[in-house]
């Protein structure tokens, strides 16, 4: 099997549109939540979210081309362009035969849902006159961001979209890892994007009683593991990672952030939207990732928890961790307390957090959580408040999605 390393990162997020700004705000415990500005939400029970701020798509895409791309694809283009640049890659200088072994696996939970909503509202407003845009279908379909990234950089290797709800982009990262280590590619662009702060998503998740309603204090609304939590906070954005065959990365003199050594995917097989209280599926995915990495649970220094700030989900994950880690006091934090929940892009943005934790030996804190739920299993080492400095040789990243999907990736400090 090939060894696989991370050589480039890119992010468009509620906490900044560069990796440096994003990581600084994560380490400093800044919340990205505020009242929603992109649409009128005065009639909604939840009126806030974690919006991307100061995003300029024309820095990446010609103005005349913007109409071809849904916002989630615009985010994907920006994050992947930045990750490619960060990795020191210029694909135009790489022979096409090499690019046959370079591909894209990109995730989204909802794809061009905003485009779909806009077109149907326009159709209704017109009295049923079918004036649909010729770009409607390619803007909407979930695979299009993967295709656009591939076309943009002329990458002819494996190219597809992973959709497993909120586990989607961790699944993409794991799939890219598998593709390279099996020798089917030597470089992959992996990640995910989401632009679901729209009427239908806000209304749908609200109707499901999944969203926090703390309109008076958005910045404190996402509070994982807290006994007073009342739901998750919707987020948006994109995150990209460049994964490479170690030999190829070393040969071209790439900087290496970390090595990815394990990926475990499983299913709760339990409920449409809920997770089993005992955390069976979560534990199964984590154990599969550990087995693939060839390490025992006590080697893990940090877990970036899925922890969306919902009662059943938070406890299910912690119960799963208790099965896996036992009395090992692994440091746990929930960065969704700052970013909100980026849905299909959550796993990728939290992969970046995990990679940076390994690289910088910093474990971000969990903000807003002041009164731990009394059902938190005994001995759980949840990092609350400020970030801490600690050697992180291995970081584990958990993501779970509606439909019972679980995905766990493991990143390791790179050694030659």
Given a cut of 90, whether residue 383 has pLDDT beyond it is: yes
pLDDT score recorded for residue 373: 96
pTM of the predicted model as reported, rounded to 2 decimal places: 0.97
pLDDT score recorded for residue 387: 98
- Structural domains in the chain, sorted by start: 4-251 (3.40.47.10), 264-408 (3.40.47.10)
Q: In what order do the strands lie in the sheet with 405-412?
A: 159-162, 102-107, 187-194, 237-245, 4-12, 258-267, 405-412, 394-401, 302-304, 331-333, 381-382
In contact, 328 and 360? CB cutoff 8 Å: no
Q: What are the tens digits of pLDDT across the range 319-354? A: 999 999 999 999 999 999 999 999 999 999 999 999
Given a cut of 90, whether residue 243 has pLDDT beyond it is: yes
pLDDT score recorded for residue 416: 83
- Lowest model confidence (mean pLDDT) among 218-227, 257-266, 271-280: 271-280
Given a cut of 90, whether residue 359 has pLDDT beyond it is: yes
**DSSP notation for 2-42:** --EEEEEEEEEBTTBSSHHHHHHHHHTT----EE--SS--T
Give me the phi and psi of 137, to 5 degrees please: -65, -50
> Whole-number mean pLDDT of the chain?
97
Secondary structure element (H or E) that encloses residue 409, with its range: strand 405-412
Q: What integer is the mean pLDDT of 350-367?
A: 98
In contact, 256 and 216? CB cutoff 8 Å: no
Q: What are the tens digits of pLDDT across the range 33-83? A: 999 999 999 999 999 999 999 999 999 999 999 999 999 999 999 999 999
pLDDT score recorded for residue 76: 98
In contact, 347 and 335? CB cutoff 8 Å: no
User: Could you tell me the end-to-end alpha-carbon distance of the chain, in angstroms, rounded to an integer?
Assistant: 16
pLDDT score recorded for residue 22: 98
In contact, 376 and 241? CB cutoff 8 Å: no
Q: Cα dist. 83→71, 109, 119, 249, 386 in Å?
A: 18, 21, 32, 15, 28
Cα(338)–Cα(223) distance, integer angstroms:
9
pLDDT score recorded for residue 241: 99
pLDDT confidence band for 264 (50 / 70 / 90): very high
**Which of the residues are catalytic?**
166
Q: Scan for tokens 């449409």, then name that residue.
A: 272
Q: Taking the mean position of all CA atoms in its chain, how far away is CA 289?
A: 18
- Those residues whose C-beta lies under 8 Å from the C-beta of residue 10, and which sit 6 or more positions away, are 19, 78, 79, 80, 81, 82, 83, 84, 85, 86, 191, 238, 239, 240
Beta strands of 113-174 (E only): which ranges? 159-162
The encoded tokens of residue 115 equal: 């485009």
Among 351, 375, 363, 359, smallest CA distance to 174 is for: 351
- Cβ atoms within 10 A of the Cβ of 271, count? 12
Cα(130)–Cα(366) distance, integer angstroms:
49
């Amino acid at each position: 099997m090939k060894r696989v390393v991370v050589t480039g990162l890119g992010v468009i997020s509620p906490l900044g549109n560069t990796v440096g700004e994003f990581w600084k705000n994560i380490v400093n415990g800044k919340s990205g939540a505020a009242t929603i500005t992109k649409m009128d939400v005065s009639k909604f029970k939840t009126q806030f979210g974690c919006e991307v701020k100061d995003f300029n798509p024309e820095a990446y895409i010609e103005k005349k081309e913007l109409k071809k791309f849904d916002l989630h694809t615009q985010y994907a283009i920006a994050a992947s362009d930045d990750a490619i640049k960060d990795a020191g890659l210029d694909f135009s200088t790489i022979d096409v035969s090499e690019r046959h072994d370079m591909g894209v696996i990109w995730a989204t939970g909802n794809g061009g849902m905003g485009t779909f909503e806009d077109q149907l509202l326009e159709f209704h407003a017109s009295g049923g006159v079918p004036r649909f845009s010729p770009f409607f279908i390619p803007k909407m379909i979930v695979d299009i961001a993967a295709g656009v990234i591939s076309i943009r950089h002329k990458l002819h290797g494996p190219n597809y979209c992973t959709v497993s709800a909120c586990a989607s982009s961790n699944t993409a990262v794991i799939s890219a890892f598998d593709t390279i280590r099996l020798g089917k590619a030597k470089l992959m662009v992996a990640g995910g994007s989401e632009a679901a702060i729209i009427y239908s998503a806000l209304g749908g998740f609200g109707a499901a009683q999944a969203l926090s309603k703390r309109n008076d204090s958005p910045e404190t609304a996402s509070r994982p593991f807290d006994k007073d939590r009342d739901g998750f906070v919707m987020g948006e954005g994109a995150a990209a990672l460049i994964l490479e065959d170690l030999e190829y990365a070393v040969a071209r003199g790439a900087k290496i952030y970390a090595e990815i050594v394990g990926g475990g995917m499983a299913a709760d097989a339990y409920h449409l939207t809920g997770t089993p209280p005992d955390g069976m599926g979560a534990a199964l995915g984590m154990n599969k990732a550990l087995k693939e990495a060839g390490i025992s649970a006590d080697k893990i220094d940090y877990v970036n928890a899925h922890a969306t700030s919902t009662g059943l989900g938070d406890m299910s994950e912690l119960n799963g961790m208790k099965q896996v880690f036992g009395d090992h006091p692994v440091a746990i934090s929930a960065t969704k307390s700052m970013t909100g929940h980026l849905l299909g892009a959550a796993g990728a943005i939290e992969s970046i957090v995990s990679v940076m934790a390994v690289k910088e030996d910093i474990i971000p804190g969990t903000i807003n959580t002041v009164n731990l739920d009394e059902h938190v299993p005994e001995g759980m080492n949840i990092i609350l408040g400020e970030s801490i400095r600690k050697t992180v040789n291995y970081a584990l990243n958990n993501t779970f999605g509606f439909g019972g999907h679980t995905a766990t990736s493991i990143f390791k400090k790179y050694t030659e």
